[in-house]
Structure 1
């Protein structure tokens, strides 16, 4: 089937999901309901009008200010909406019309919410992480059966257990408990793709985290004893593997075993 219609539909879906993720990112750390009250200005309390709630366009129409009290609205809101749409389209381009696509779209949405919450409050809420396990199972198990690849599930389960053990050991040296809980979820999705993806996703998280930490230390944005959330790097490493595990592992294999002519 043509890919273009899928990308358009997924892009629009990403905008809508991104709008909801803004609510998740704001309310979950505060233990607030995701349903009640409806979208409203946190400064004046007035409800957001439906036409102002259109992803990205609503913020542009309001010129980044509340329609009632003119309080500035953070640019992060449209950026989350647009970023979710872009990531959704990238995932759809990666998996195409496949049974696995919904599982990785869900992971993309969860990744955006968790990364920003971790950056905000240095916490990966159980309210998001724990329900993601049964959702992942509900999406990936049928995909494996329908594609005739039950081995993907076995790899995913083994990778989930392996990453749990790795992060459980690292927790003895200060790794956060939220990171330990997130690791098996990423292992499940990376194991589905193959052991190369597990290696790239795991090592990529530590390489990205180390590089960013080094830059922050150089510019003195953090100190040597500062706490830095690691969840965003775990998620970034996972999606690096989703999109580029094969070329990265091929490149590395070429370094170890150069071609002979």
Structure 2
């Protein structure tokens, strides 16, 4: 795939990333995601089109609102750049195909869920539940190919990811009296099962546990975070799922090769 085409995909990702910032701000507030148009979250002034150019406007305005001069979070350009990189990387890996487009949309959903979870410690049902339904529908459609699951893998993945993880969390709560995993995380894993099939779940769950442990320990030891404070787990699940999409088959092949050598 040519660099010119990748640049077009990345530019499209910037545009979609700007919309993801709208979703991230408005979904937790239960606001309309279409109307009115973008406003400053501080002074509520409408943002002109030339002040809403992804990344560039943030730089030109020196990260401040033109009207009230309040600081604009670095979240906005970071989300836009992440969406640009994700779009180019996904379409380069899977092509401009139904599968590649579907996985790009999944990536946008994961970006949105990640940032909302970091700020609000929630994974909104308005994204996860329709996402599960879409995963099931895609599995029934012949135009979509691996790493998207077929319908058998999707249904087993949904049951294992949602039901299995819910059961684990329930048992953990009964034994310890503490919430081991929120229902939002359970629904997110069910979404991964519906989209990617049961075979994706071991690597996603194990990978997210490793990433979460490293980040959590670093957070506590380096920045002195209170151990009693909750840690959002959705971002680690999302990162592990994205790793599976790009490296899952290679990781499984390496692991199976090591097992064959051992036995």
In the other structure, the counterpart of 1:203 is: 206
Describe how 1:49-198 pairs up with structure 2 within 5 A: 49-142=48-141, 145-146=142-143, 152-172=150-170, 173=172, 174=179, 175-191=181-197, 195=199, 197-198=200-201
Aligned counterparts of 2:107 and 2:145: Cα–Cα separation in 1: 24
Aligned counterparts of 1:60 and 1:176: Cα–Cα separation in 2: 38
After TM superposition, what 4+ stretches of structure 1 lie above 6 angstroms from structure 2? Answer: 148-151
What is the RMSD of the two structures over their aligned residues, measured on CA atoms?
2.3
Seen in structure 2, the aligned counterparts of structure 1 residues 238 and 148 have a Cα distance that, compared at 3 Å, is closer
Q: Tell me the number of residue pairs that the alignment of Structure 1 and Structure 2 aligns.
A: 254
Cα deviation for residue 214 of structure 1 reads: 1.9
Seen in structure 2, the aligned counterparts of structure 1 residues 212 and 62 have a Cα distance that, compared at 3 Å, is same
TM-score by length of 2: 0.87
Seen in structure 2, the aligned counterparts of structure 1 residues 13 and 151 have a Cα distance that, compared at 3 Å, is closer
TM-score by length of 1: 0.88
Aligned counterparts of 2:195 and 2:108: Cα–Cα separation in 1: 14
SS in 2 for 1:30: coil
In the other structure, the counterpart of 2:216 is: 213
Instruction: Give deviations 1:200-239, integer Å, cap 9, x for gaps.
Output: 2221111111221222232253333221111111111111
In the other structure, the counterpart of 2:175 is: none
Aligned counterparts of 2:105 and 2:127: Cα–Cα separation in 1: 12
Describe how 1:246-257 pairs up with structure 2 within 5 A: 246-257=249-260
Which runs of no fewer than 5 residues in structure 2 stay unpaired?
173-178
Cα deviation for residue 20 of structure 1 reads: 0.6
Which runs of no fewer than 5 residues in structure 1 stay unpaired?
none
